[in-house]
Amino acid sequence: MNLAVLGATGSIGASTLDVVARHPGRYRVFALTAHTSADALLALCRTHRPRYAVLSGVAEKRELIREFSREKTELLFGAKALEEIAAHPDCGAVMAAIVGGAGLASTLAAARSGKRVLLANKEALVMAGPLVMRAARESGAQILPVDSEHNAVFQCISDKKFIRKIVLTASGGPFRMLPLDRLAGVTPEQACAHPNWVMGRKISVDSATMMNKGLEVIEAHWLFDAAPEAIEVVIHPQSIVHSMVEYADGSVIAQLSNPDMRVPIAHALAYPERIESGAQPLDLPAIKNLSFEKPDLARFPCLGLAYAALRAGGTAAAILNAANEVAVEAFLAGRLAFTGIPRVIGETLQEVPGKPAADLAAVLDSDAAARHSARARVMALAA
């Protein structure tokens, strides 16, 4: 299988390439992409020797082209090159691991081209779920979830028509037990210190606010055709049970593994077969206890905002996602308090009217309007 890894220099990219390297006779790295990390991408090309590499956020530079060509890799530039790689006829599967709305266009291109889409970019479905799923149906593309929670649900489903409820688990992040009056003063470094997972800075902050779980609720709606009231979130601090499915007869089926992204990646790569992932086997006696609790919406208001956007429909989820990206960026830059993140998102949802998500232009228009509004909210709070 020829595989393109979009977002190769991130944590999902690293885990994907680790799994692929364990099965050299089964997978070939066709293309690797990064935004601006030329040195890191070149190092990966030296190891994996892809046919193509893409720097989506860099203008064309001849010296870079020469460096990559020494590794027998053709270097492309710009965001459009991501779509070209995702739709390339020689590419069989696409790992969609670009963080945020920047991954939408390439994910949609892969879906329209009938690829096996290993979906780690939840924002693509959050922003444009109807468009992505329709493109997959029309082209015959396979959308296989890589998020550990959605991959777990996928593994637990035997027949969708008998499902009563989908239960997504959440770690609760680093501030699950922190007194509420101290949340305003937490730092980006504290927010990025996830207790169980090694992740990038943006997704780590999303985990700390539980917006990550809110986005996953919206993603689950589109992946599994589930109503908002049929998707429940529970906090599970050990991150061993990755999600559960409750059936009409009262049975609950869960998927368990150590918190290692190589498990869902290996499952999506090899489906319907199973391959070695490199993850450590689960030792239940050593774990001893598994606990669950309801999320407190006063502590995690972003989760409630995500449910509200899902119920509103149209482009409301795209507005939610755009406002969150702006707010998280401002928090990481020290321009917004941690507790300002949900405030910016909530005010943006009130100010920017949603519209029917009829096409990509409508989605991108709402995205742009939300970013403009959210930046104004950030400036007002910083004044």
The token duo for 30 is 């066709």
Is-contact 111 136, C-beta < 8 A?
yes
Look at residue 98 and tell me if it is in a domain. Answer: yes
Look at residue 73 and tell me if it is in a domain. Answer: yes
Nearest to 170 by CA among 201, 200, 127, 203: 203
Please list, residue by residue across 194-233, b when 16 or more beta carbons sit within 10 angstroms of its beta carbon and e when fewer do: bebbebbbbbbbbbbbbbbbbbbbbbbbbbbebeeebbeb
- In sequence order, the 6+-apart residues with CB closer than 8 A to the CB of 354 are 312, 313, 314, 315, 316, 319, 366
Look at residue 89 and tell me if it is in a domain. Answer: yes
CA atoms within 13 A on the CB side of 92: 9
CA atoms within 13 A on the CB side of 97: 28
| pLDDT value of residue 100 | 85
| pLDDT value of residue 192 | 92
Is-contact 190 181, C-beta < 8 A?
no
Rounded to the nearest 10°, the torsion over CA 34, 173, 234, 257 is 60
H-run or E-run covering 143 = strand 142-145
Distance (Å, rounded) from C-alpha 70 to C-alpha 67?
6
The residues facing 94 across adjacent strands are 4, 117
Distance (Å, rounded) from C-alpha 169 to C-alpha 246?
13
Nearest to 235 by CA among 185, 171, 183: 171
Q: How big is the CA angle at 184 (ends 182 and 187), to the nearest 5 degrees?
A: 95
Look at residue 182 and tell me if it is in a domain. Answer: no
- Tokens 């990219």 locate to 13
Boundaries of domain holding 45: 2-145
Handedness of CA 290, 294, 298, 302 (dihedral sign): positive
User: 42: domain CATH number?
Assistant: 3.40.50.720
How many domains are contained in the chain? 1
The token duo for 296 is 């407190």
Look at residue 113 and tell me if it is in a domain. Answer: yes
H-run or E-run covering 73 = none
Look at residue 375 and tell me if it is in a domain. Answer: no
Parallel/antiparallel/unpaired status of strands 252-256 and 163-170: unpaired
- Tokens 């035997």 locate to 158
Distance (Å, rounded) from C-alpha 323 to C-alpha 215?
13
Residues in the chain: 383
Look at residue 129 and tell me if it is in a domain. Answer: yes
Distance (Å, rounded) from C-alpha 96 to C-alpha 122?
9
Look at residue 42 and tell me if it is in a domain. Answer: yes
The token duo for 338 is 């941690």
| pLDDT value of residue 285 | 94
Mean pLDDT, consecutive 10-residue stretches, the chain (383 aa), reads 97 96 96 97 98 97 97 97 98 95 94 98 93 97 96 95 96 93 95 78 93 97 96 96 97 96 97 97 94 96 98 97 97 97 98 94 96 97 83
- Is 0.85 surpassed by the pTM of this model? yes
